[in-house]
Amino acid sequence: MGETTAGGLFGGRVAYRQFRGGHRSGFEPVLLAACVPAQAGEKVLEAGTGAGAALLCLAARVAGLRGVGVERDAALARLAAENFRENGFGQMFSVQADALRLPFSAASFDHVMANPPWYDARGTPPPEARRALAHMAAPGLLTSWMKALVACLRPRGRVTFILPAAALGAAAAGLRAARCGGLSVWPLWPRVGVPAKTIIVSAILGSRTADSLHHGLVLHDAAGITGEAEAILRDGAALV
């Protein structure tokens, strides 16, 4: 296992170790977890969990939640398990598996979520193998992830993804192809007046309700991180 660094989530209330090299967690897993309206006793699946940041945030916000993080990288899967144990989240587990070949039966989870690889695999990959695995996406990967995750979702369960804004059209098409409706979209603006680079998209399996565009979140202002963003990133508030 490679060298790890010790840090924290939610202002240090949640201990979090990650590898010094490779992909490093940013705002994305914290914001992803903030848009999952899970309740005590429900089961949550995350694909591509990495070192477990999103599930750690969700478990810290919602007591009594059960969760599984799927990670293809064996060392990362072990590190996620260690992070869950260190924080006392005994109902959170990690499994080494491919997101496209999930080892779960149909209707196993109330919520599924992911921060999938974003970047076109036809471009130049990062030199570090673990970072390349987390970042580079082959054509059609998003649709394939959605299909695989939704296959594990119970009827009326919710699927949530954090994605580049440019992927909105593909995400909507993929979710509808997977029989999900009632799409909710949260734009994440770097600053006021700047186009959103990132979005969170959520939908419900089997829903026929109308789609909705939420007010979203402005991440920075002249003073730094906005108060609304701080409430999520440091205090563990929900965005939903």
pLDDT in tens, 166-215: 999 999 999 999 999 999 999 999 999 999 999 999 999 999 999 999 99
Res 136 pLDDT > 60:
no
Phi and psi at 202, nearest 5°, equal: -135, 150
pLDDT for the residue numbered 240: 81
Mean pLDDT throughout 207-228?
A: 96
Task: Supply the pTM of this predicted model.
Answer: 0.90
Task: Compute the average pLDDT of residues 25-42.
Answer: 96
Q: How far apart are CA 67 and CA 92, in angstroms?
A: 5
pLDDT of residue 143: 94
* Better pLDDT: 147 or 118: 147
- What is the pLDDT, as a whole number, of residue 140? 85
Query: Is the pLDDT at 232 greater than 60, yes or no?
Result: yes
Measured N-to-C along each axis, helices 74-86 and 53-61 cross at an angle, to the nearest 10 degrees, of: 20
**Strand residue runs (E) in the chain:** 4-9, 14-19, 43-47, 66-71, 92-96, 109-114, 119-120, 136-137, 153-164, 180-189, 198-205, 212-213, 217-218, 220-221, 224-225
pLDDT at 121 over 50: no
Q: Give pLDDT, residue 173.
A: 96
More confident residue, 121 or 95: 95
The pLDDT of residue 132: 44
CA dihedral 68, 212, 139, 115 (to 10 degrees): -30
Q: Average pLDDT for residues 206-235, to the nearest whole number? A: 96
Which segment of 20-29, 116-125, 163-172 scores lowest on mean pLDDT?
Answer: 116-125
Interatomic CA distance for residues 48 and 37, integer angstroms: 20
Render pLDDT for 154-167 as a digit per residue (tens, 0 to 9): 999 999 999 999 99
Average of pLDDT values for 9-21? Answer: 95
CA 155, distance to chain mean position in Å, is 21
Q: What is the mean pLDDT of the chain?
A: 92
Domains of the chain listed by start with CATH number: 4-233 (3.40.50.150)
